[in-house]
Every structure is written in C-alpha cells, then in structure tokens.
Amino acid sequence: MSLEADADNVSHRENITGSASCLENHFLIAMPHLRDPNFNGSVTYLWKHDSEGALGLVVNQPSKLVIPDLMEELGITIKDEFLARVQHSSILTGGPVETNKGFILHEAGTEWDYTLPVNDDISLSMSRDILQEIADGGGPARYLITLGCAGWEAGQLEQEISDNVWLTVPANTDLLFSTDYDNKAAAAAAILGVTMSQLASLAGHS
C-alpha cells in the first residue's frame, strides 16, 4: 500500500477554473440506473477537472478497513490517548483507480510533504506524514481517507453527464466530511432541491 503520489498522474493541473465546464469542487451523484458496483449509489467529490480529464474520490462508501488497520499496515503507532478517536473511523473506497494508494482529503490550512490545494477550503494530501500527525493526535480537524480514486479521460466525464449518468452539485464542505454515509447521496441531491425518488423517476423516463 502506497501513500506516495505519482506526480505524472495527479500533480499536473491545466486549471480551467472560471470555465462553465469546470466541475472541480463539485459532487457527482450517481443516477439510480448506474449499476457499476464501483459507483452504484455513490457520491464522488471531484478535486481535479481540466482538459485532460477528471479525478475524484468516492466519499460515501466505507470499507471494512478502519484507520488503526491502515496505520498498523504502514507501521504507524497511534498514541493510546488518541486511539478511541479513530478506532471506528472507516477508510473509504475512493474508486477503482490506483486502489493501493491512499488519498487524504482534508480542510485546508496546513500542508504536508505532498499536498495539493483544491480551493481555499479543501486540500488533498498523499504522503505518510499527515497520517503520522493524525496518529499523534494532530493533523487536520476534518478529513477523510480513501484507498483508490476515480478517474476519467478527456471528454469521458462530459459524455457520461450528457448520457444522464451523473447529477452534478456544487460541493458542500460539511456534507463532504459527514460520516452519515448512508444518507450522503440524498443530502447532496437535496442541495438542488430534489429527492432520490425523483431522480429514479427521471432516470426511468430518460
């Protein structure tokens, strides 16, 4: 399992922020007819979107792995006084791409060895030192850890949106870090004033 970023894959950013087509800092809500097991019922946070494609993290699919399991695998010792804080915190299944790589999405404000700012509020880190700080009782106040990510080639995501595979919603930071995973898709849809049953009806008539 690796927490080291592949700079060629994740650090290049041809920023098109300001373009109507840029969906960075948006949620993708899987439409009910999407049966791909990697994305069925999912909410994905897009942290990169440019002319070369898109990258995101599924943020509502907890795995059976919890933070102490990951720390043990990486040889990181959690201080006893902080173990209760993280012992039931799930590692999320972030997507089917680079499933052996860890991604830590967190509130901005501190940078670690490999941190990419998404915007003024959110950053993404991919290095061991942030996990060490969490184990020592520090680190960001709010964060989520995934193994794997989701990726789309140039034009692929746009085509899937056109094909009614995804509903796009501006991201909400509180919802992003919510651990109410079962209701995260419904809460994301509610940002637009729609329900999951309405989406199912829409999909049925597409």
Residue 151 within a domain: yes
We report the CATH number of the domain holding residue 145 as 3.40.1740.10
pLDDT in tens, 5-44: 443 444 333 333 333 478 999 999 999 999 899 999 999 9
Question: If pLDDT is split at 50, 70 and 90, which confidence band does 48 have?
Answer: very high
| pLDDT tier, 202 (very low <50, low <70, confident <90, very high otherwise) | low
Q: Do the domain assignments include residue 16? A: yes
Residue 29 lies in a domain: yes
Angle value at C-alpha 127, between 91 and 154, nearest 5 degrees: 80
Q: Does residue 190 form part of some domain? A: yes
Q: How would residue 89 be classed by pLDDT, with cut points 50, 70 and 90?
A: very high
2 found inside a domain: no
What is the sign, positive or negative, of the torsion defined by CA atoms of 154, 156, 159, 161? negative
Predicted model pTM: 0.87
Give the Cβ contact number of residue 128 at 10 Å: 18
pLDDT in tens, 100-151: 999 999 999 888 889 999 999 999 999 999 999 999 998 999 999 999 999 9
Position 100 in a domain = yes
Looking at the chain, list the stretches that DSSP marks H as alpha helix, in order from N- to C-terminal side.
7-10, 67-73, 80-86, 128-135, 156-162, 173-176, 184-191, 196-204
Is the distance from CB of 55 to CB of 149 less than 8 angstroms? yes
Residues 6+ apart with CB under 8 A from 147: 1, 63, 65, 91, 92, 93, 94, 99, 100, 101, 102, 103
Q: Which residue has the higher pLDDT, 59 or 197?
A: 59
- Total domains present in the chain: 1
Residue 1 lies in a domain: no
In a domain, 55, yes or no: yes
Other Cβ atoms closer than 10 A to 5: 21
Give the residue numbers spanning the domain of 50: 7-204
